[in-house]
Amino acid sequence: MSADAAIGTIPERLVDPQARVIDYLRVSVTDRCNYGCVYCIPDGGVAHTERAEVLSFEEIAALVCVFASLGVRRVRLTGGEPTARRDLVALVRLLRAIPGIDDIALSTNGHLLPELAAPLRDAGVDRLNVSVDSLDADRFRRITRRGDLARVLAGIEAARAAGFSSIKLNTVAIRGGNDDEMDRICAWAWARGLLPRFIEEMPMADGRAYQPGAHVSAAEIRERVAAAWPGTRVVADAADGARGAGPARYFRLDGGEGESAPVRRFGIISPRTEHFCTTCNRLRLSTAGALHACLAYDDAVDLRGPLHAGGDEAVARAIRGALAGKRDGHTFQLIGLGGPRKAMVQIGG
């Protein structure tokens, strides 16, 4: 039986109080990053998990095994910058061998992809998301504080050559930062068969990295993309091939010149103006083994203690405890209020 068919037969699959079925786990493998994006890392930085508390690859694999027994089918490795964790390829191999896990994705800033794209693909990563906030090298460096656009673009080329089943670009929309580049980013992605996605900025880290006035709404993103191709209109799109679509909503341009070109599809992740909480299918495991049921709240349940003290049964109980507390929705729409103390880099965005 395929893993997808098997999910229906798992007696104890993870269903939260709002009847959302959880089949997706994001695993933060490090809370350190080789970039320092201005909207992610507040001035003065953030506290990092002590090395002794960082989950080992064996601990991550043991926890993912329990999740798989409860119906989780997809894992995304994130961070911090996951490729900055030494020997990430070995972790991918461990996860690939877990029965039931049929999809492994990776979110990365792309800096180390020139060297790592092929080994990661060979080890079993299916899909990639690469953050690209600008196609202008100076802007890119300003936004990422120390990013190297040429390396990231070379990394994307290496990833295309390595044959991932999907590569998406993630761009946090920043007014006055990159909001005039959305059409350029779309055109660049479409020309390479990649799927561009725009993310509304979230007030993480107690709002400490949040720039008032920088927010661009989902509606404005749609308007700006359509305006760049006269005569087009934005229509909802089922996003074939966008497996793991998760919170993103997909759109495409219809009409206008270029209609015969490849589908002009883009995604928007809009935690602020167009919530997706009712379809949230995910949990997040922190670098230190704490399970977060929602990005927007700081509540978390420790899984490392139960793993060592009580084994799989104890971990499963703790996971259910976290799930019981998964909120109906969040309050990111209240600018600067209601956001979590944790920074994105600390939980794996």
Q: Which stretch binds ligand SAM (CB under 6 A): 37-45, 186-194, 233-241, 254-262?
A: 37-45
- What are the Cα distances from residue 315, in Å, to 25, 74, 86, 308, 311? 15, 18, 26, 9, 6
How many residues sit in the footprint of ligand SAM (CB under 6 A)? 22
318 binds ligand SAM (CB under 6 A): no
Cα–Cα distance, 283 to 286 (Å, whole number) = 10
Binding map of ligand SAM across residues 195-214, x = CB under 6 A, - = no contact:
----x-xx-x----------
172 binds ligand SAM (CB under 6 A): yes
Amino acid at 339: G
131 binds ligand SAM (CB under 6 A): yes
Q: What does the DSSP 8-state code read for residue 337?
A: S
DSSP 42-97: -TT------GGGSPPHHHHHHHHHHHHHTT--EEEEEES-GGGSTTHHHHHHHHHT
Rounded-to-10 torsion of CA 285, 330, 276, 347: -20
Chosen residue from 31, 81, 103, 181 binding ligand SAM by CB under 6 A: 81
349 binds ligand SAM (CB under 6 A): yes
Q: Which stretch binds ligand SAM (CB under 6 A): 105-113, 152-160, 273-281, 316-324?
A: 105-113
Residue whose CB is less far from ligand SAM, 170 or 281: 170
78 binds ligand SAM (CB under 6 A): yes
Q: Provide the minimum distance between the beta carbon of 243 and ligand SAM in the complex, in angstroms, as a whole number.
A: 17
Q: Provide the minimum distance between the beta carbon of 207 and ligand SAM in the complex, in angstroms, as a whole number.
A: 10
- What are the Cα distances from residue 157, in Å, to 85, 100, 111, 338? 22, 31, 12, 40
Residue whose CB is less far from ligand SAM, 33 or 318: 33
Cα–Cα distance, 282 to 16 (Å, whole number) = 11
Written as six digits, the tokens of 289 are 């083994």
30 binds ligand SAM (CB under 6 A): no
39 binds ligand SAM (CB under 6 A): yes
Residue whose CB is less far from ligand SAM, 155 or 289: 155
Chosen residue from 62, 64, 135, 345 binding ligand SAM by CB under 6 A: 345
Q: Which stretch binds ligand SAM (CB under 6 A): 34-42, 154-162, 214-222, 314-322?
A: 34-42
Residue nearest ligand SAM, Cβ-based: 349
Euclidean distance between the first and the last CA atom of the chain, given in angstroms as a whole number? 33
* H-assigned helices in the chain: 3-7, 57-69, 88-96, 113-123, 137-144, 149-162, 182-191, 218-227, 304-324, 344-347
- Which residues, including other chains, have CB under 8 Å from residue 50's CB and lie 6 or more apart? none
Residue whose CB is less far from ligand SAM, 199 or 316: 199
Q: Which residues bind ligand SAM (CB under 6 A)?
A: 33, 37, 39-40, 78-79, 81, 107-109, 129, 131, 170, 172, 199, 201-202, 204, 344-345, 348-349
